Amino acid sequence: MSAHVAPGAPAPARHPFPLNAWYAAAWDVEVARTLLPRTICNRPIVLYRTAAGAPTALADACWHRLVPLSMGRLRGDDEIQCGYHGICYDAAGRATYMPAQETINPSATVHAYPVVERHRFVWVWPGDPALADPGLVPDLHWNDDPEWAGDGRTIHARCDYRLIVDNLLDLTHEQFVHGSSIGHDSLSESDFVVTHDDRTVTGTKWMTGIDPPPFWKRNLHDRFPDYDGPIDRWQIIRFEAPCTVAIDVGVAKAGTGAPEGDRGAGVNGFVLNTMTPETDNTCHYFWAFARNWSLRDQSITTRLRDGVSGVFFEDEVMLEAQQRGIEANPGYDFYNLNIDAGGMWARRLIDRMIAAESEGHGAEADDTLGEAAVAAGAAAAAERPRRAEHGDGTDLPSRFDQPATLMQRGL
Amino acid sequence: MGATTHRRWTTATVVDTTPVADGIRRIVLEPASAGPPAPPGSHLDVGVYVNGGADLRSYSVVGMGPYGNTYVLGVQLARQSRGGSAYMHSLRRGAQIPVTQPLQNFPLAYGRPRYLLLAGGIGITALVAMGRDLKDRGADYRFVYGARSRHLMAFVDELATDHGDRLELRIDDEGGRLDVDELIAGLAPDTELYVCGPIPMLDAVRRGWAQAGRPPSSLRFETFGSSGRFAPEPFRVRIPRLGYDVMVPHDVSLLEALENAGADMMFDCRRGECGLCEVRVMDVHGVIDHRDVFFSDAQHQRGDRMCTCVSRVVSARTGGASGADGHDPVLTIDIP
């Protein structure tokens, strides 16, 4: 934010993520009758469920001494108790018990983050609660749709979440990073069509009449054990700002009409990804693979999850190295190629969300600013009020005019 | 955040100051660079000049100007008070004063089934923005605004336009005196009450809320410790152990008077919330006007401790105590 910076002061560091967005904080099963600490967008948050099952996300810092509440304990049906001095808060973050006094201090609250449970994830909204519309939760419905089956994992990635957005919107790298599983020479050769609106970017790639890569050959065999011919393959990537990517992937027997919309002779999966910023350069990467074939075969769920896990490990190695490369080369920007169009559009949508917040519409104040505030002298004076007897006002800024008429009236 | 955040100071220019009711001015401040938005319930701390020294006052943000670049305050001139409001009223267009970013100790929770906003007098300033927000969100709310007399009520026209039938005015001298217990009794059980007003009203609400067996966390309130049951009077304070015998003028707090006399006082919030400034009362000639929300009713009645930042003593006659003898009020305490 541009507020409260003295002229000539260095511009405050901008964070690479908007705050007014839903972010997956955890898998639904991770949030239970225990205290789960997790940092989201540089904000320490503690997650738990009330006895009635409602997911709850509170600031993980006691109002009193800023000790992590996650070091405390659950109390009663919906309360959390600080482990240091025993102050209790309800699920709305309001103090219900304070030690050694008969009243509750009216200021005693910790921030309760808006929470929604959807698509097997618990989502939190780090920004202005007034704007937290549950209708804005990214669409990952394949993760709990009965027409689909699958599972996923979490990667704690030591990189800016945008590097993963770039990665998922760029298929060229598959040939080089994932050559042994899903890569194919055709990936870097065929056309990748990118479209966008104000919230989403879609990249579409069709490869027709090709030999199937090992991963897809195996999947197609689940449904069509006897088919060994060429395939038509699709990858339709949908990015939803700021950090969710659902990829419609699959193959069908070549020439059976898949590009025209008939996928009946194929197998279809969705790679579901949402990368929640932890800090400016680390993130919680939640992913899952959902399929529309052999829904009741758990061994396929496991095979696919482990297979994708192996593919993503190859990405993780590359992206963490990229993050180190960025930090080792300060002052250098990326060079953007035609193949980066998807990621470029995604970053533009993210940047617009961030810019909208820093114009002062609904953004939370940036905690890092202002210690070098314009009126630092006044701050010092006001924090330790001068008294009539010894205060002569000399520590006031000169523009802080003394109201003569008031002084004459003795007020 | 619920927790108090660091104050960040900037300079703001007074771009408008207009009387909006008897003794109340709307003061519009424009910070030197565009400030962060003020959420409903937030306040600014303002550097004021009182008794020859710099001091700090807190004023609720009534709203932001049409372009979102100004903070609108409503400031009541409290003639018997400590001088901060007189300073604010003395400001003219173009004056520059130090202000903080909006600070939040009174957040509005979203998504509750029902709300009641209850304002007494100048306490309306803490609730105007909340009302606007609840309306914008289509919430189920009522807005009750009470005062002694209509000419003392700021923002009535705007509120009537904004809230129509949801707004109820309770005006003492028009026969509409607010009955707090009746009001609470008429609320649906899942109502959340946000209240800001003078300490006697706040006390009545807190007592009525507790007696009705309602959940304490559904009663949200804020106090700047600026008013009590009685108008401030000068009184004498003695600390026998340390040999102090000090006059506390009507416009100086007990805490400040003791500090001025050289006592090493501990305090923090300075609005009667935190309890750090408590002292032990050994004797009182007169009546203690408790203005804090730290002690419970029972503790106030016991009267063996008090918060020096806001609470005062008045004469037995003023306080209506039996056996009032007209002597000047005297407080004897010991300090930690």
Residues of B in contact with A101 (CB under 8 A): 275, 294-295
B99, β-bridge pairs: B10, B46
User: How many angstroms from the chain centroid is the CA of residue B11?
Assistant: 24
Q: Do A283 and A275 meet the contact criterion of CB atoms below 8 Å apart?
A: yes
Helix ranges (H only) for A196-297 are 214-223
Pairing of strands A95-97, A88-89: antiparallel
- Taking the C-alpha atoms of residue B103 and residue A4, their distance in angstroms, rounded to an integer, is 14
- pLDDT score of A402 more than 80: no
A276 SS3 class: strand
User: Quick one: fold of A23-131?
Assistant: Rieske Iron-sulfur Protein (2.102.10)
Neighbours of B240 (CB within 10 A): 12
Mutate to test the interface with B, among A64, A94, A116 (most CBs of B within 10 A): A94
Tokens of B54: 């710099």
Q: What is the pLDDT of residues A108-137, one digit of tens each?
A: 999 999 999 999 999 999 999 989 999 999
Which CATH number is A146-358's, of 3.40.50.11540, 3.90.226.10, 3.90.380.10, 3.40.1050.10? 3.90.380.10
- Taking the C-alpha atoms of residue A211 and residue A395, their distance in angstroms, rounded to an integer, is 79
Long-range contacts of A186-190 (CB under 8 A, 24+ apart): A186/A210, A186/A233
Neighbours of B235 (CB within 10 A): 25
Put simply, the answer to whether A376 touches B10 (Cβ < 8 Å) is no
Tokens of B242: 């340390």
Find tokens 């003394």 and name the residue: A402
Q: What pLDDT, on a 0 to 100 scale, did the predictor assign at position A395?
A: 35
Neighbours of A330 (CB within 10 A): 6
- Taking the C-alpha atoms of residue B330 and residue A167, their distance in angstroms, rounded to an integer, is 76
Q: What pLDDT, on a 0 to 100 scale, did the predictor assign at position A409?
A: 28
Q: What pLDDT, on a 0 to 100 scale, did the predictor assign at position A50?
A: 98
Higher confidence at residue A344 or residue A14?
A344
Put simply, the answer to whether B2 touches A110 (Cβ < 8 Å) is yes
Separation in Å, CA B139 to CA B51, B115, B214 = 45, 8, 21
Q: Do A172 and A339 meet the contact criterion of CB atoms below 8 Å apart?
A: yes
Put simply, the answer to whether B11 touches A376 (Cβ < 8 Å) is no
In A120-199, the DSSP E strands lie at 121-124, 149-157, 193-196
User: How many angstroms from the chain centroid is the CA of residue B206?
Assistant: 15
Task: Using alpha carbons, select from B182, B192, B185 the residue that is nearest to residue B212.
Answer: B185
Q: Do B205 and B195 meet the contact criterion of CB atoms below 8 Å apart?
A: yes
Find tokens 């790639």 and name the residue: A205
Residues of B in contact with A360 (CB under 8 A): 34-37, 68
Residues of B in contact with A92 (CB under 8 A): 109, 217
Q: What pLDDT, on a 0 to 100 scale, did the predictor assign at position B199?
A: 84
Q: Do A115 and A50 meet the contact criterion of CB atoms below 8 Å apart?
A: no
User: How many pairs of residues across A and B have Cβ atoms under 8 Å apart?
Assistant: 203
- pLDDT score of A181 more than 60: yes
Q: What is the pLDDT along chain B (336 residues), one digit of tens a residue?
A: 344 578 889 999 999 999 999 999 999 999 998 888 899 999 999 999 987 788 888 999 999 988 889 999 999 998 666 688 999 999 999 999 999 999 998 999 988 999 999 999 999 999 999 999 999 999 999 999 999 999 999 999 999 999 999 999 999 999 888 999 999 999 999 999 999 998 889 889 999 999 999 999 999 998 765 578 888 999 999 999 999 999 999 889 999 999 999 999 998 888 888 899 999 999 999 999 999 989 988 999 999 999 999 999 999 988 887 766 667 899 999 998
Put simply, the answer to whether B51 touches A388 (Cβ < 8 Å) is yes
Q: Is A193 on the interface with B (CB under 8 A)?
A: no
Put simply, the answer to whether B109 touches A112 (Cβ < 8 Å) is yes
Q: What pLDDT, on a 0 to 100 scale, did the predictor assign at position A189?
A: 61
Q: What is the pLDDT of residues A320-361, one digit of tens each?
A: 999 999 999 998 888 888 788 899 999 999 999 999 987 644
Phi/psi for A260 (5° steps) reads -90, -5
What percent of chain A clears pLDDT 70, i.e. is strictly above it?
Answer: 82
In sequence order, what are the residues at sequence separation of 6 or more whose Cβ sits closer than 8 angstroms to the Cβ of residue A33? A48, A49, A51, A74
Q: Is A114 on the interface with B (CB under 8 A)?
A: yes
Task: Using alpha carbons, select from B232, B221, B217 the residue that is nearest to residue B289.
Answer: B232
Q: What pLDDT, on a 0 to 100 scale, did the predictor assign at position A186?
A: 65
Q: Is A356 on the interface with B (CB under 8 A)?
A: no
Separation in Å, CA B270 to CA A330, B223, B254, B267 = 47, 11, 11, 7
Separation in Å, CA A1 to CA A47, A126, A305, A360 = 28, 16, 41, 8
Q: What is the 3-state secondary structure (H, E, C) of chain B?
A: CCCCCCCCEEEEEEEEEEEEECCEEEEEEEECCCCCCCCCCEEEEEEEEECCEEEEEEEEEEEECCCCCCEEEEEECCCCCCCHHHHHHHCCCCCEEEEECCEECCCCCCCCCEEEEEEEHHHHHHCHHHHHHHHHCCCCEEEEEEECCHHHCCCHHHHHHHHHHHEEEEEHHHCCCCCHHHHHHCCCCCEEEEEECCHHHHHHHHHHHHHCCCCHHHEEECCCCCCCCCCCCCEEEEEHHHCEEEEECCCCCHHHHHHHCCCCCCCCCCCCCCCCCEEEEEEEECEEECCCCCCCHHHHHHCCEEECCCCEEECHHHHCCCCCCCCCCEEEEECC
A151 — pLDDT class (breaks 50, 70, 90): very high
Q: What pLDDT, on a 0 to 100 scale, did the predictor assign at position B181?
A: 94
- Taking the C-alpha atoms of residue A318 and residue A167, their distance in angstroms, rounded to an integer, is 10
Burial A224-255 (b: 16+ CB within 10 A, else e): beeeeeebbbbbbbbbbbbbbbbbbbbbbbbe
State the ipTM, two decimals.
Answer: 0.76
CATH placement of domain B114-221: 3.40.50.80
Find tokens 């330790």 and name the residue: A384
Q: Which helix (H) or strand (E) holds A177?
A: helix A172-177
Q: What pLDDT, on a 0 to 100 scale, did the predictor assign at position B115?
A: 98
Q: Do B100 and B35 meet the contact criterion of CB atoms below 8 Å apart?
A: no
**Could you tell me which chain A residue has the CA closest to the CA of B294?**
A103
To the nearest whole Å, the CA of A165 is away from the closest chain B CA by 30
Put simply, the answer to whether A388 touches B32 (Cβ < 8 Å) is no
Q: Do B273 and A106 meet the contact criterion of CB atoms below 8 Å apart?
A: yes
Indicate the domain borders of chain A: 23-131, 146-358, 376-409
Put simply, the answer to whether B68 touches A361 (Cβ < 8 Å) is yes
Mutate to test the interface with B, among A88, A390, A400 (most CBs of B within 10 A): A400
- Is the CA virtual torsion B120, B89, A385, B64 positive or negative? positive
Higher confidence at residue A16 or residue A171?
A16
DSSP structural state of residue A186: G
Please determine, looking at this structure, whether the domain spanning B9-103 carries the CATH number 2.40.30.10: yes
Put simply, the answer to whether A3 touches B10 (Cβ < 8 Å) is yes
Pairing of strands A266-279, A244-253: antiparallel
Q: What pLDDT, on a 0 to 100 scale, did the predictor assign at position B228?
A: 81
Separation in Å, CA A7 to CA A232, A355, A374, B32, B102 = 60, 21, 8, 10, 21
- Taking the C-alpha atoms of residue A154 and residue A286, their distance in angstroms, rounded to an integer, is 4
Which CATH number is B235-334's, of 2.40.50.40, 3.10.20.30, 3.40.50.150, 3.40.50.10490? 3.10.20.30
- Taking the C-alpha atoms of residue B184 and residue B197, their distance in angstroms, rounded to an integer, is 16
Q: Do B28 and B14 meet the contact criterion of CB atoms below 8 Å apart?
A: yes
Q: Is A109 on the interface with B (CB under 8 A)?
A: yes
Q: What pLDDT, on a 0 to 100 scale, did the predictor assign at position B188?
A: 96
Put simply, the answer to whether B6 touches A5 (Cβ < 8 Å) is no
What distance separates the 2 farthest-apart alpha carbons in chain A?
A: 101
Q: What pLDDT, on a 0 to 100 scale, did the predictor assign at position B36?
A: 86
Indicate the domain borders of chain B: 9-103, 114-221, 235-334
Residues of A in contact with B139 (CB under 8 A): none
Q: Do B103 and B44 meet the contact criterion of CB atoms below 8 Å apart?
A: yes
Find tokens 């604010």 and name the residue: B88
A365 SS3 class: coil
B27, β-bridge pairs: B17, B73
**Could you tell me which chain B residue has the CA closest to the CA of A130?**
B110
A407 — pLDDT class (breaks 50, 70, 90): very low
Tokens of B331: 């407080």
Least trusted range by pLDDT, from A188-197, A216-225, A228-237, A368-377: A368-377
Mutate to test the interface with B, among A98, A109, A131 (most CBs of B within 10 A): A109
Q: Do A107 and A127 meet the contact criterion of CB atoms below 8 Å apart?
A: no
